[in-house]
Amino acid sequence: APSPTSRHFTLNFTLTNLPYTADLEAPSSRKFLSTVKVLNHYIDPLFKNSSISSVYTGCKVMRFRSGKNRDDTGVDAVCSYKNNISLARFDREKMYHELSSMTNGVTTLGHYSLEKNSLYVNG
């Protein structure tokens, strides 16, 4: 039997209590690396407690971007899962609703505050 292939989806959201600074643009900066580490600590458990937990393989923060306000930082991540028969197809709407409820209606992610309308899941 062929081995399951990895599939990806993007995850985007905005943190309203993380001021955007230039060092968040540099993937090798201490601020970038420490922020990624903290975000992974909050993002991983969400997926591990979701309907795709059995096939979820991880998320990687790709970049931070300036939000609408100075104090906002947008987050762009790529998440992966093993594509196998048990998962009929990735349902981004279902995933969005699960993440929405696990973040208190897209308001909190750990100690971060989320911009209510900023969560996007794109299969």
pLDDT tens digits, one per residue of 41-86: 999 999 999 999 999 999 999 999 998 887 899 999 999 998 876 6
Band the pLDDT of 109: cuts 50, 70, 90. Answer: very high
Residue ranges per structural domain of the chain: 6-122
CATH number given to 6-122 = 3.30.70.960
Question: What is the average per-residue pLDDT within 109-118?
Answer: 96
Q: How many CA atoms lie within 13 A of 70 on its CB side?
A: 0
- Report the C-alpha gap between 25 and 23 in whole angstroms: 5
Running DSSP on this structure, what letter comes out for residue 17? T
The one-letter amino acid code at 59 reads: C
